[in-house]
Every structure is written in C-alpha cells, then in structure tokens.
Amino acid sequence: MKIFLRRVFELAALFALRERVWKRAAIKASQSARRVADEYGYQALDSAGDFFGPGNSRETLFLLGGGSSINELSDSHFEHMQSQASIGFNVWAIHPFIPDVYSFETGKDKDGPSEDTQYISQRLLHQDVIEANPKFLFLRPTFPATSRNLVQVPEALRSNQFMYGRANLPTRSSSNLRRDIHRILQSYKLGEAPSNVLLDNGATVVRMLFFGALQGFKKIVLTGIDLDDRPYFWLAPDYPYGSEEITRVFPRRNGVPHDTLETIDRPFPVDQVIVAISQSLKDHFGISVYIGSSRSTLAPALPVYPWPET
C-alpha cells in the first residue's frame, strides 16, 4: 500500500498536492525555528526582507564553499568578490577573506560545542572580523543540540545573528524536481511560504542558493563548490594559511566523492538539486547560476563565471 501511495503521490499532475505537503512541513519548521530563536536571542530570518542592506549591490552573490579550487583564486579574484556580496559556509570562517555573511549549522551533539566549533568561535573574535561587521545565518540546531552547540558570535555582533529552519522537497522523483522547485519559488514570491524557512536537500549550498534567489541577486556564483574527490581547501598542500592545528581540528575524508553526493540522509544528490534549481531560476526568474571553476564537477551543467581580467 505504501508503495502504491508513493507512486500516486509522484504523479506529475499532483504537483499541487506535493506543494501543499511541503508548505505544511515548512510551517512546522518555521514555528520551531522561531521558538528556538526567541528562546536563545536570535533574530528570525526574513528572506523576503532586504537582508544585505539597501547600500549593497544585488548584481552578484558569491557562495563560498570548501573545495580545493578556492586555492586557485588570486588576489584580484578576492578583490572582485569584495566588491560584490558573499556568503561563506561553515569552515570558511578559518579563511582570511571575510564575507558579508557567515552561514553555520551544527550536528546533534548535546554535550556542548565541539572543538571545531570552538575554534571558529575564537576566530570570529579577531578584530578584522568585528570591524567587517558581517551577518550570521544559523540553521536551527537539531534536537538534542541547543544553541550551546552553535558557533558563538562576538558580543559586539550579536545583533547580526539570524536563525532559520529548513524543509526538504517531498518528491523522490527526479522528473518532478524542476516543476516542484518552481512551484515553491512561486509560493515565496507570492508571500505564501514562511520567510524564515529555506528549501533544503541536506546541504548548505542548496539553502543559500535558494536564499540568494529570494534576495533578488541577478547572478549567483558557486565558488569552491567542486563536489570532487580532491581535499578541502584547508587540507590541500597549496593552502597558504594551513597549519597542523587546522588539519587536526578540521579533518575530512580525502580521495572520495563529496559526501553531499550521497543519498543516505538526503532525498537527492546535491548536484542534481543544484542544477534543477539553477534551471528553474534561469527559465522563470532570469537569475544566472555560475560555478567559479571549470574543475567543478558541475562544469558540464553550469557555465563558468567570467572573472574580470586582471
């Protein structure tokens, strides 16, 4: 019976039903995220509002991941990113380039912050970060974790921390991806979806790509989103700011495909969802999604960003 009901649920014509199921999940996630935000002193994210501020360009948003291609960027590349908007994911906080926004999440550990979380919290105390005045996006911690498990923002920047929830696509059929994503995007544009919840597929890049679209950026560049088997940028031999401590505190598997390509704890491989979102954004909203390096495994499906010539 369950198999039959799933087959019916996945019928292409029932996209409106899947949209309603997603909205119910999003409303539940919204209530939970708002409750945790209120309890621990975070602002609730308003994805419909002007998060980056009226003085900032909505031309290009750089999403900064952990791939080895980050080490291929030159000073002029970072200068160009500095002139636009940027969001750095998780371990990006150890990199000297300070983005406009840091995006953090945590695991389910209930015994307090992990060593890597404490390391990042200490890094954020540096004067260069405080003077840059970035904002912080926090995914609501998953029970039994609490705000104690999250990266701690310097006291001077506490007013810049925001919390949000997530809701996965209910479909499990790749043939439904583009239409279902488009319907959900339309729900946000019409104000019918909770503004403190982002579409998810178990990956920060999916949520931030979706967030960038909701913020109205014309171009979104996936930088360091390589999804290959090379080491993360901080573990690569050509990372100029590496150390034995960083290697010890932030160990990662090497020589295997990126873990977001696995579907053990997510509905689809992340590359499949990125491409589907990108196609929907291009076709229906005129938003172009690029990759920052031709070495990304997304290169066959997405255009490489035309970096300004030096």
User: pLDDT truncated to tens, each residue of the chain (310 aa)?
Assistant: 777 888 889 989 899 999 999 999 999 999 999 999 999 999 999 999 999 988 778 899 999 999 999 999 999 999 999 999 999 999 999 999 999 999 999 876 777 788 999 999 999 999 999 999 999 999 999 888 888 899 999 999 999 999 999 999 999 999 999 999 999 999 999 999 999 999 999 899 999 999 999 999 999 999 999 999 899 999 999 999 999 999 999 998 775 555 555 556 667 899 999 999 999 999 999 999 999 999 999 999 999 999 997 5
Give me the residue label for tokens 């053990």.
264
pLDDT for the residue numbered 263: 52
pLDDT the model gives residue 266: 67
Q: CA 159, CA 172: separation in Å to the nearest integer? A: 39
Question: Using only C-alpha atoms, what is the Rg of the chain?
Answer: 19
254: which DSSP letter? -
How high is the pLDDT of residue 262? 55
- Rounded distance, CA 195 to CA 91, Å? 26
In the chain, domain spans: 14-291
At residue 147, the pLDDT reads 87
Residue 306, number of CB atoms within 10 A of its CB: 8
User: CA-to-CA distance for 286 and 219, rounded, in angstroms?
Assistant: 9
Predicted pLDDT of residue 279? 96
228 within 8 A of 259, measured Cβ to Cβ: no
Q: What is the pLDDT of residue 199?
A: 96
Q: How far is CA 187 from CA 58, 193, 194, 199, 208, in A?
A: 21, 6, 9, 11, 17
What are the residues facing 86 on neighbouring strands?
62
What region, left, alpha or beta, does residue 191 occupy, with left being phi > 0 and alpha being psi -120 to 50 degrees?
left
Which among 263, 182, 210, 184 is positioned nearest to 25, based on CA atoms? 184
SS3 69: helix
The pLDDT, as a whole number, for residue 260 is: 55
* Token pair in block for residue 279: 């196609």
> What is the pLDDT, as a whole number, of residue 310?
59
Residue type at 290 in one-letter notation: Y
